[in-house]
Amino acid sequence: MSEFLLLKNARPYGEGGITDLLIKDGKIVEIAQNLTLAEFKACVNADGSATYTDISTVIDCKGLPLIPAAVDVHTHTRTPGFEHKEDAVSFSNAAAKGGVSCVMAMPNTNPVPDSIENLKEIQTALRNGKTRIYFFAAITKGSNGRELTDISLLSKQPCIKGFSDDGRGVTDIALLKKAVIRANQNGKIIAAHSESTNPDFEKRETEAVLQEVAMLRELQEAGKKPKYHFCHISNREALESVIAARKDGIDVTFEVTPHHFSLTKSDIKNTNYKMSPPLREETDKTAILHAIASGAATIVATDHAPHTEDEKARGYDNAPNGIIGLETLIPLVYTELVKTGIISLRTASRLITDNPASRFGLPFGEISVTGLADLVVPDTETTRIYTKAEIQSKSKNSPFIGRELTGFPVLTIVNGKVVYNNL
């Protein structure tokens, strides 16, 4: 039996007039004005062979914008191994409330996804969620930076869309170069945390990015045509280096985070503002905003990183890096970028959905007939304070608690099913 969902009075991308959308079995099958329940039922019986379905829902979107649900390519599920920070249910609920239909999870779990056996264990721990979860497999065994995983074997798994050692990083450039070549040969991309540290090595983000860009240029000159992705670029010099490499024909992308284009180091009040890379100077924030406005920055990702209140209460020097971000992704993008006139809502949608999904080969919603019905309605008419009480994540480590924001999702649909509704 087919499942139908009729969205009434939606405004795609906040542009033009009001329209309705009919969704059948996870796909948009009709977009038109004034669709009625009678037409809904007629569509059910279009071939004359089906009976009326009782699996149907009609939702009034009240003239609010409708955009494809977000695709977040930088998250930490903490499951399995660290469920005291975040578990499968809380992660799923946070994504649904945040209007996120698809995520990529970093490999900082226990076990690490460095083998097929470990990967299956991780998938089992995260099954039956409200959002699609894909994974970065580890670049090195145990993410220890010393021995490459079986990149070719792991690449064959449909849930693996890239490789990363998360915050530990691969600081051996010769080993990293081998990983890039092997991943690219298998149609995958390395996602680098270029600010990374480990007990034996430490380097600033800019120095690491410059070193990795030089490596990519060397591979390009050797005819290897490398593909590469930089996670959470946060300062001006690193940003300019990556943009220059792309202008020179290297297939490189980078992501920026909502906290780095919304906050600076002068905003720091407590350990909920501690993350890696850290909050930067106003000039760095300005450079990120300019990159977004000019189209040089093409991907926004959250780096959602839950930590408990006890962990964050250890004092600034001893507290772990990281903040949660799934639930504030869309309101921060809307408040800081769209409402201020820096970009349009349609461009914002490309930054949080089309571009990250396309880069890593992920499914994403499209507001068109036959398009995948992964959709979200942000309330762009209401400005309100983000509260600790509303947070669905198990951890509450957000620097945006108490901040006025506009554009909170009020309806999230994944594969044609309503997973969050606050209309």
Q: Is the dihedral of CA 347, 96, 382, 323 positive or negative?
A: negative
pLDDT tens-place string over residues 224-253: 999 999 999 999 999 999 999 999 999 999
Task: Measure the CA–CA gap between 402 and 78, rounded to whole angstroms.
Answer: 25
Return the H-helix or E-strand segment holding 162.
strand 160-163
**pLDDT score of 269:** 97
**Weakest-pLDDT range from 36-45, 204-213, 248-257:** 36-45
To the nearest whole number, what is the mean pLDDT of the chain? 93
Cis peptide before 363 (omega within 30 of 0): no
**pLDDT score of 169:** 80
**pLDDT score of 57:** 84
pLDDT, mean of residues 365-393? 98
Q: Is the pLDDT of residue 164 over 90?
A: yes
**pLDDT score of 51:** 46
Catalytic residue from among 303, 354, 374, 379? 303
Token digits for 270? 């407590």
Return the H-helix or E-strand segment holding 283.
helix 282-294
**pLDDT score of 95:** 98
Question: Are the beta carbons of 307 and 78 closer than 8 angstroms?
Answer: no
Question: What percentage of residues in the chain have a pLDDT greater than 90?
Answer: 87
Q: Where are the domains of the chain?
A: 4-66+371-387+409-421, 69-360
pLDDT tens-place string over residues 314-347: 999 999 999 999 999 999 999 999 999 999 999 9
Q: Is the pLDDT of residue 199 over 70?
A: no
**pLDDT score of 259:** 98
φ/ψ region of 385 (left if φ > 0, alpha if ψ in -120 to 50, else beta) reads beta
Q: Is the pLDDT of residue 289 over 60?
A: yes
Task: Measure the CA–CA gap between 163 and 161, rounded to whole angstroms.
Answer: 7
pLDDT, mean of residues 120-134? 95
Task: Using alpha carbons, select from 25, 20, 19 the residue that is nearest to residue 53.
Answer: 25
Q: Is the pLDDT of residue 42 over 60?
A: no
pLDDT, mean of residues 339-368? 98
Question: Are the beta carbons of 366 and 277 closer than 8 angstroms?
Answer: no
CATH topology of domain 69-360: TIM Barrel (3.20.20)
**pLDDT score of 205:** 79
**pLDDT score of 181:** 97
Q: What is the DSSP string of 198-246?
A: ETTEE--HHHHHHHHHHHHHHHHHTT---EEEE----SHHHHHHHHHHH
pLDDT tens-place string over residues 46-100: 555 444 444 578 999 999 999 999 999 999 999 999 999 999 999 999 999 999 9
Considering the domain delimited by 4-66+371-387+409-421, tell me its CATH architecture. Roll (2.30)
pTM given for the model? 0.94
pLDDT confidence bin for 29, thresholds 50/70/90: very high
**Cα-based distances in Å from 124 to 85, 88, 129, 149, 274:** 18, 10, 11, 21, 32
pLDDT, mean of residues 391-398? 98
**Does residue 267 have an active-site annotation?**
no
Task: Measure the CA–CA gap between 162 and 308, rounded to whole angstroms.
Answer: 28
Question: What percentage of residues in the chain have a pLDDT greater than 70?
Answer: 93
Q: Is the pLDDT of residue 8 over 70?
A: yes
SS3 289: helix
To the nearest 5 percent, what fractions of the chain are helix, strand and coil?
Answer: 35, 25, 45
**pLDDT score of 38:** 63
